[in-house]
């Protein structure tokens, strides 16, 4: 027997910035027979997954579907469809993923006005209002709801009214908040949003849920140029995902078994109930925070996510050495700092299936032992 046929991945307790632990139910769903991407049975499963996504996004947007690709594919899908070369946009940058959104939108030909904040801080409505007044031709404002690199939790209430009042669209990165934090697409007036399956939905990486509202689709329909990406062109994708009067139109071979996984993961979310799930994430965050602060460990952001806990590395601790011991001795994965936080912070994810009393108490006990 060859070495490759004997390969069995180790079981890890995934408490980093993603992926999160995947329930057995979801893994079993992935093993169901593969169907064709236009098979009526598959289309029924896909349609139900899209309806479940609407419930989790809390939206009635017809064009809500999983992009074939990870969270960054969702970011690119929104950008390439809503931006034309020469458009002016504002991107709020307070971490890696705000920086990445800026980069993606620049690649679409936009003139990006970056509103920057210290890593770990969030943006105020006054800061965004001032930037909009400074750049009156802005067509889109992009902001990260859950900045995974710093653990900062951005408030969104009231932002859409401000952005719409200046004739712009509101685009939100919810990769690390969907299914773990309060998120109301319709009530908050979000025009386009994207997320990932591998965070609070506790599904393997591979799909990026997106949702486009009426304002976003009107902007798309008024385009003078084709989107730069054929693969992510909504004019073709929506003919596959929503059908419309002409029926389903083949675009690309959808990742069939990943759709099964997402469908099951969303069923688990809705069985628990969104409100109960959000409350669980908040309670586990508070449990972890109390234990860390009792050890003298401080948080990086003043307004922290419940799903991603970014903490200062204690003085004298060996960053890589501690993470290596956690992995080798306890099977626990936590994340390193990114960008200017590299070597200065750890990131502990409590997302979806991984946000539990067992995992919180285990990582606290392991950290106490390793740091001692």
Task: Report the Cα 76 to chain-centroid distance in Å.
Answer: 13
CA dist list (Å): 79 to 103, 175, 222, 249: 10, 15, 15, 23
Q: Are 189 and 15 in contact (CB under 8 A)?
A: no
Angstrom distance (rounded) from CA 95 to CA 150 = 7
CB burial string 291-305: b at 16+ within 10 A, e below: bbeeeebebbbeebb
pLDDT of residue 245 exceeding 80: no
Q: Where residue 247 falls among pLDDT bands split at 50, 70, 90?
A: confident
Give Cβ neighbours of residue 40 (< 8 Å, ≥ 6 apart).
none
Query: Exposure of 250 by Cβ count < 10 A (0-12 exposed, 13-18 middle, 19+ buried)?
Result: exposed
Residue of higher predicted confidence among 202 and 247: 202
CA-CA-CA-CA torsion sign (343, 345, 346, 347): negative
Q: Are 150 and 300 in contact (CB under 8 A)?
A: yes
The DSSP symbol for 299 reads B
Q: What are the tens digits of pLDDT across the range 49-89?
A: 999 999 999 999 999 999 999 989 999 999 999 999 999 99
Instruction: Provide the residue count of the chain.
Output: 372
Give Cβ neighbours of residue 342 (< 8 Å, ≥ 6 apart).
336
Q: Where residue 3 falls among pLDDT bands split at 50, 70, 90?
A: low
pLDDT of residue 113 exceeding 50: yes
Q: Are 205 and 197 in contact (CB under 8 A)?
A: yes
pLDDT of residue 360 exceeding 70: yes
Q: Where residue 4 falls among pLDDT bands split at 50, 70, 90?
A: low
Over the chain, what is the mean pLDDT?
96
Angstrom distance (rounded) from CA 329 to CA 326 = 6
E-assigned strand segments in 218-344:
308-312, 332-333, 335-336
Span 24-270 CATH architecture:
3-Layer(aba) Sandwich (3.40)
Angstrom distance (rounded) from CA 233 to CA 40 = 24
Reported as half-sphere exposure (CB side, CA atoms, 13 A), residue 227 has a value of 21
pTM: 0.96
Q: What are the tens digits of pLDDT across the range 307-344?
A: 999 999 999 999 999 999 999 999 999 999 999 999 99
Q: What are the tens digits of pLDDT across the range 154-208?
A: 999 999 999 999 999 999 999 999 999 999 999 999 999 999 999 999 999 999 9
pLDDT for the residue numbered 302: 96
Q: Where residue 1 falls among pLDDT bands split at 50, 70, 90?
A: very low
pLDDT for the residue numbered 363: 98
The DSSP symbol for 199 reads S
* Domain locations along the chain: 13-18+273-371, 24-270
CATH of domain 13-18+273-371: 3.90.1150.10
């Amino acid at each position: 027997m060859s070495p490759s046929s004997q390969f069995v991945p180790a079981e890890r307790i995934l408490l980093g910035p993603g992926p999160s632990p995947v329930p057995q139910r979801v893994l079993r769903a992935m093993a169901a027979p593969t169907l064709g991407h236009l098979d009526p049975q598959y289309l029924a499963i896909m349609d139900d997954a899209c309806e479940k996504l609407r419930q989790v996004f809390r939206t009635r947007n017809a064009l809500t579907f999983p992009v074939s690709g990870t969270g960054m594919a969702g970011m690119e899908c929104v950008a390439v469809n809503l931006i034309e070369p020469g458009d002016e946009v504002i991107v709020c940058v307070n971490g890696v993923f705000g920086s990445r959104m800026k980069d993606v939108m620049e690649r679409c030909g936009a003139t990006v006005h970056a509103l920057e904040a210290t890593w770990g801080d969030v943006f105020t409505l006054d800061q965004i209002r001032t930037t909009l007044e400074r750049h009156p031709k802005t067509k889109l404002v992009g902001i990260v709801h859950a900045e995974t690199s710093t653990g900062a939790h951005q408030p969104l209430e009231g932002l859409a009214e401000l952005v719409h009042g200046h004739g712009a669209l509101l685009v939100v990165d919810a990769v690390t908040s969907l299914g773990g934090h309060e998120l109301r697409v319709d009530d908050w007036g979000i025009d386009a949003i994207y997320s990932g399956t591998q965070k609070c939905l506790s599904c393997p990486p591979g799909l990026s849920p997106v949702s486009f509202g009426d304002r976003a689709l009107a902007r798309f329909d008024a385009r003078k140029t084709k989107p730069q990406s054929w693969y992510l062109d909504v004019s073709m994708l929506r003919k596959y995902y929503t059908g419309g009067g002409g029926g389903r139109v083949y675009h690309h071979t959808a990742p069939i078994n990943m759709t099964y996984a997402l469908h099951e993961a969303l069923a688990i979310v809705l069985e628990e109930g969104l409100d109960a799930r959000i409350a669980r994430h908040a309670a586990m965050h508070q449990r972890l925070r109390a234990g860390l602060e009792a050890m003298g460990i401080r948080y990086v952001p003043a307004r922290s996510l419940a799903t991603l806990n970014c903490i200062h590395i204690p003085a004298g601790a060996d960053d890589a050495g501690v993470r290596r011991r956690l992995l080798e001795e306890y099977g626990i994965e936590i994340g390193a700092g990114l960008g200017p936080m590299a070597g200065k912070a750890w990131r502990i994810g409590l997302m979806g299936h991984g946000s539990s009393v067992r995992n919180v108490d285990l990582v606290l006990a392991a950290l106490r032992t390793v740091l001692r």
